[in-house]
Amino acid sequence: MRLSQLFSQTLRSDPAEAEVESHRLLLRAGYIRQLAAGVFDLLPLARRSLNKIGTIVRQEMEAIGGQELTLPVVQPAELWQESGRWQRLGPELTRLQDRNGRQLVLGMTHEEVVADLARREIRSYRQLPLLVYQIQTKWRDEPRPRAGLIRTREFLMKDSYSLDADWEGLDRQYRAHYQAYQTIFRRCGLEASVVESDVGMMGGQLAHEFMFQSDIGEDLLLLCRQCGYAANREVARFRKPEPPPEAPLPLESVATPDCKTIAALANFLGLPQARTAKAVFLMARLVEEQGEGAAEGRATQPASSPAVGERAVGERLVFAIVRGDMEVNEVKLANALRAAELRPATEAEVRAAGAEPGYASPVGLRPAHQAALIVVDELLPRSPNLVAGANQPGYHLRNVNYGRDYSATIVADITSAGEGHPCPQCGAPLRAQRAVELGHIFK
Ligand SMILES: [Zn+2]
């Protein structure tokens, strides 16, 4: 075929909507056209490129024993209610009804469908291990599609599912994927960094992400040049300082007018921010864990009644406390709480728990009698004599000590690692780097 007959037209000038270089070039060269927010037409040149990438992916998946199948985009809601993700996921999961009022979802991933298929097809452990995969269209109603094909709502994904009779088999297939993904990215000419990551909505025990380092990426990695430690900021650890021991001093109230931020407070009192405690209020959507009996639920829950699952969902105020020089990491916090979702609390919600926005602290709030869950960073029990809010406008307390003056529902690592923090393995300063996610494996 002649180029003059190519369906796609190149563009002479830069399209106004292009935010990043890849988006600009794909539009100008006639690979893609946008149909709606986060929804793209893939024109012949893009389709040819995807076919080539698909060939590499298929070869490498088959080399580790994968068998290709194609699963439906439209799926019955019952499967998602049974797994609990119908209740846990927010509006990114698109729910719809057919003409008979039957609840359906648009597939954003296919664990439910694969599990259902496997329980119908696999009669004996002797049929295992198995590995099935597909290259198929997914839909996730992302709140902010951006940067051309970097974050879209409709997208093509290769997803594979390993089925094993025991943990050793799972370990073996996890390692096989780890290797296969590295081979795929190498053959595609992409330099991929492998990092520890959050298991997110997939759940499970272990996850690795394959990341392409680029400033247009939405993820932030923390990397150690010295020992090779690499993790997504969502889960990255760092070596926390060991505060020098001090005898606890008596509590003392101090007037701190207009000190609603940690910076203003530390400045006013002439103290380093490390000598203050910072309180952050969030509302957590908690979901009851599904027990072993959950599989029975499918037969007894009417398909048209999503409220059955949603009744298990409750919102609680969370009072997260970190040292003033650190930041709360919402992914770590959500994991510590087993929360499905966190959102900032309103001032009214904070006041309802007896705390004063801008001057809040856990002092005087007893967790057992409070509406709030108090989650304290692991560093605070070792940090004596901090300045914290007095729950009274314009006042703070000096010499606040964990254990004596307040306690927590949960003590956990809930702070974010950042540029220059000491590596958790070797202590060398970590480097922060933006990256685009290429692939993700979950155990
Ligand atoms: Zn290191």
Give the integer Cα–Cα distance in Å for 152 and 38: 4
The predicted model scores a pTM of 0.77
Q: What's the CA-to-centroid distance between 424 and ligand 1, angstroms?
A: 7
Contact predicate 113/105, CB 8 Å: no
Res. 298: pLDDT tops 50? no
- pLDDT mean across residues, the chain: 87
Q: What's the CA-to-centroid distance between 180 and ligand 1, angstroms?
A: 26
- Residue 103 has φ and ψ, to the nearest 5°, of -80, 135
Give the integer Cα–Cα distance in Å for 183 and 177: 10
Residue 230: strand, helix, or coil: strand
Q: What's the CA-to-centroid distance between 89 and ligand 1, angstroms?
A: 35
What does the H/E/C string look like for 49-102? HHHHHHHHHHHHHHHCCCEECCCCCEEEHHHHHHHCHHHHCCCCCCEEECCCCC
Q: Would you place residue 360 in the very low, low, confident or very high pLDDT band (cuts 50, 70, 90)?
A: confident
Give the integer Cα–Cα distance in Å for 58 and 290: 35
The environment of the single-atom ion ligand 1, i.e. residues with CB closer than 5 A, is 224, 226-227, 229, 423, 425-426, 428
Stronger pLDDT, 183 or 352, i.e. the higher one: 183
Res. 379: pLDDT tops 80? yes
Q: At what angle do helices 44-63 and 167-187 cross, to 10 degrees?
A: 140
pLDDT for 83: 92
Res. 301: pLDDT tops 60? no
Q: What's the CA-to-centroid distance between 220 and ligand 1, angstroms?
A: 17
First to last CA, the chain: 46
What is the separation of C-alpha 198 from the centre of its chain, rounded to a whole number of angstroms? 6
pLDDT for 285: 84
Q: What's the CA-to-centroid distance between 219 and ligand 1, angstroms?
A: 20
Give the integer Cα–Cα distance in Å for 256 and 252: 12
pLDDT for 105: 97
Q: What's the CA-to-centroid distance between 239 and ligand 1, angstroms?
A: 10
Q: What's the CA-to-centroid distance between 225 and ligand 1, angstroms?
A: 7
Give the integer Cα–Cα distance in Å for 365 and 408: 10
> Strand 103-106 and strand 74-76: pairing?
antiparallel
Give the integer Cα–Cα distance in Å for 302 and 39: 34
Q: What's the CA-to-centroid distance between 374 and ligand 1, angstroms?
A: 32
Q: What's the CA-to-centroid distance between 227 and ligand 1, angstroms?
A: 4
Instruction: Strands of 214-353 (E only): list them.
Output: 219-223, 230-232, 252-255, 277-287, 313-323, 339-344
Q: What's the CA-to-centroid distance between 212 and ligand 1, angstroms?
A: 20
Q: DSSP character for 136?
A: E
Q: What's the CA-to-centroid distance between 238 and ligand 1, angstroms?
A: 9
Give the integer Cα–Cα distance in Å for 102 and 342: 30
- For 322, the token pair is 């970190």
